[in-house]
Amino acid sequence: MADESRALAKFAAELTYEQVPQHVRTLAIDLLVNTIGCEIGGSALPWSKSVHAAYRHVGNLPEATVTCYGDRLPVASAAFINATFSHAFEYDDGTPPYHGHPGSEIIPALMAVAEREHVSGRELLTTLVAAYELRGRVGWAVSPEMSRHGAPHYSSGCGGFGAAMGVARLLGMDFEGIHHAIGIAGSFAGGLMQYDQGGGSVKRVVCAIAASSGIQSAFLAQSGITGPEGIFEGKRGLLRMFSTEFRHERLTADFGKLWTIEQTLFKAYSCCGIIHAAIDAMRGIVNDHKLKADDIVSVDVGYPSGLHDHVGITAPHDLAGAQFSTSYSLALTVLKGGNSPVEYKTEILSDPSIREFASRIRVYEDVDLNKLCEGRGRFPARVKVRTRSGGQHEKLVPDARGSAEVPLSSAEIDAKFSLQAADIMGKKQSDQVLSALRSIDSLDDTAKLASMLIVSNR
């Protein structure tokens, strides 16, 4: 290992808009559209309102805007709230090779600071690509072993590094300052995942923890606090502490050729990304064989090692649990015909038909699927359905719809944005925001965008 932490900081500090390929810029704008759409759509949910109420009175510096509500708060508070909004309903981005939700970890932090600093849209976009590159590589270096271990959460464990790097760059810090910000972020890294076993709405704030800690790390570095050398590769760095089978070479492999943002999963369904391939498989079997719920006796769903535990909840305590439950999610697929925010309602927890169908579904560890994940990240699933007529149907989906291999188009991402935003801010304002996001690299001041996100009737 040879100073990978410094190499990452140097790359991030020196990246220019012109060095970013056009297709990567387009993906970054797609991610911005997707994240802001999820912020707007998630802003009205009960746990989002709770976080807004908790943080709206923290400090009195009017630096950055809370999406939809219009509060002007210190940047760390605004970013915490907005990141909660974007991750509020498991509809934001994912990334099979690197895990977590980089868009919700990074974008709210960058938006808050860019608004305060009156940064151009072009610089915001370039910084987003740089921050995602660092964040993706950190997650990649500890995958898949960290997910098999079951902790820490990738967003709260790795996301703060990307946010810290991006914020430090927007603050105009040089390479050394960015390197210190990344080092400081290591002291914030962590986060247990008991929520996927014992419930709790705290899952909704894991990306907010990353966004806020990234801002704090950059501010501390700007004020003279220094971080350690080797925060990733060192003897007590992230790789050795969070993983026993880390791959340090992934931190710097093929800079400028391999762009981690290319592996973004744009979610087509409002649940844990690991379940998406199983939903695609179930939809395929049901449609191909014209099956109804009553035709199905049992469903077996196989996932690779480590992923099966994350989505194996059989009796969820709350709605977050249902979104991490393969059995409840596939019950919605069959009984309700979809897995959008419309279908995931609190009522499903007590719906006898959902509970009964969910009881027919078994999740298991399919070690053969581990081979599909070797050398790269994937969320594959194998679904086996047995029917009352004696039929047995099996479908393997290596890559879910919305993944890099089966991508959503920019038009589909725009449609997802409008589906969430139009109900809350009206079609006219929704269209105006979408247009501004799509032309972000020509915007002279991102503070103008922040003002467009306020909904007057809030």
Q: Residue 97 has which token pair?
A: 């090779």
Residue 243: the pLDDT is: 83
For 123-167, the DSSP string reads HHHHHHHHHHHHHHHHHHHTTTHHHHHT-S-HHHHHHHHHHHHHH
pLDDT in tens, 261-284: 999 999 999 999 999 999 999 999
- Cα angle 160, 165, 171; round to 5: 120
Residue 458: the pLDDT is: 63
d(CA 404, CA 167): 27
What DSSP element (H or E) covers 393? strand 392-397
pLDDT in tens, 324-335: 999 999 999 999
What's the CATH architecture for 273-397?
A: 2-Layer Sandwich (3.30)
pLDDT in tens, 91-130: 999 999 999 999 999 999 999 999 999 999 999 999 999 9
Residue 195: the pLDDT is: 81
pLDDT confidence tier of residue 457, bands split at 50, 70 and 90: confident
Domain range annotation of the chain: 4-263, 273-397
Using alpha carbons, list the distances in angstroms from residue 123 to 86, 104, 114, 442, 445. 22, 19, 9, 10, 10
Chain-wide mean pLDDT for the chain? Answer: 94
pLDDT in tens, 229-267: 999 999 999 889 888 878 888 999 888 899 999 999 999
pLDDT confidence tier of residue 385, bands split at 50, 70 and 90: very high
Contact (CB, 8 A) for 281 and 382: yes
Instruction: Average the pLDDT over each of 195-209, 284-298, 393-407, 417-431 and give the range with the smallest value.
Output: 195-209
Q: Which residue has the higher pLDDT, 377 or 8?
A: 8
Contact (CB, 8 A) for 385 and 393: yes
Place of tokens 């509500």: 69
Residue 1 has pLDDT above 60, yes or no: no
Give the CATH number of domain 4-263; options: 3.50.50.60, 1.10.4100.10, 3.90.230.10, 2.60.200.30.
1.10.4100.10
Q: Residue 206 has which token pair?
A: 């894991």
Question: String of b and e for 212-247 (b: at least 16 CB within 10 Å)?
Answer: bbbbbbbbbbbeeeebeebbbbbeebbbebbbeebe
Residue 308: the pLDDT is: 87
- Say what the pTM is: 0.95
Instruction: Average the pLDDT over each of 54-58, 88-92, 195-199 and give the range with the smallest value.
Output: 195-199
pLDDT confidence tier of residue 159, bands split at 50, 70 and 90: very high
Mean pLDDT of 33-57: 95
Mean pLDDT of 137-148: 85
Q: Which of 384, 395, 380, 272 is nearest to 326 (CA)?
A: 272
